Amino acid sequence: MVKPMAALKRKPQENPESEWFGYRRIDASEKTGLVEQVFASVAGNYDLMNDLMSGGLHRLWKDTLVRRMRPRAGQTLLDVAGGTGDIALRCHKKTEGKAKIIVCDINPAMLERGKAKALDQGVMKGLTWVTGNAEELPFPDRSVDTYSIAFGLRNVTRIDKALREAARVLRPGGRFFCMEFSPGVMPAIRPFYEAYCMNVLPLLGEFVAKDRNAYKYLAESIMKFPEQAELAARMEKAGLSRAKWTDLTGGIAVIHEGWRI
């Protein structure tokens, strides 16, 4: 079900997540480096862990995201925090390699995994891999038709700054898509979901990825992420108009959409 942005009576605080690394309070200047360490540690097992954590549902969610994006030949598509290439490779297949697809990620180890996956799938051209920060994208104003970020926005130090960067690089009429895990799940499943995130995910991280703390952080980052209406309001404030969202699997994952007018 697609839901329009609900107007909030209060103004959301600017970049409140910048002071938190999961549930640990930090100086904002530390967060980017700490997140980089997490993803450098888990890069080798990232795809496997996604399958285990979601029971394979992340594949269906990503298919849904790409269907909503409707990538077309001749477009320029920018996938931010897309290091392992899941969204980019789906878009490449959908456009038969006739779109310009840029994968931007702050972590070189994740990009290397993506490049290896592309080669394994026989994709030799049509993808460009760029190391870059979502808060300071190395791309010109109004240079892309579609911006996507899947399961990456909650790891950005200054979310509002990243949203403004998305609006900056999009052409007028360009579309913004964000898919994220959300704390705003259906009340009926909330206790089970929170227990799973806080107890099971760190255990999976410990036994599969050999890094319990990394997945403890990732679980906590889900709980600290803004719920649907708040993120939609922040998108609008950043210049991404007509913000709306679609809950997937009871709100466990959410697709937010907006337009650059």
Percent of the chain with pLDDT over 90: 77
The pLDDT confidence band at residue 207, using thresholds 50, 70 and 90, is confident
pLDDT on residue 12: 53
* 63-117 pLDDT tens trace: 999 999 999 999 999 999 998 899 999 999 999 999 999 999 999 999 999 999 9
pLDDT on residue 22: 93
Contact status, residue 71 vs residue 78, Cβ threshold 8 Å: no
Q: Are strands 20-21 and 24-25 parallel, antiparallel or unpaired?
A: antiparallel
Q: Token digits for 155?
A: 């790891």
Contact status, residue 150 vs residue 81, Cβ threshold 8 Å: yes
Domain spans of the chain? Answer: 2-259
Angle between the N-to-C axes of helices 28-42 and 46-54, in degrees from 0 to 180, rounded to the nearest 10: 90
Contact status, residue 72 vs residue 86, Cβ threshold 8 Å: no
Element (H, E) at 232: helix 228-238
**Measured distance between the N- and C-terminal CA atoms of the chain, rounded to whole angstroms:** 24
DSSP string across 117-137: HHHHTT--SSEEEEE-BTTB-
Question: So what's the architecture of 2-259 in CATH?
Answer: 3-Layer(aba) Sandwich (3.40)
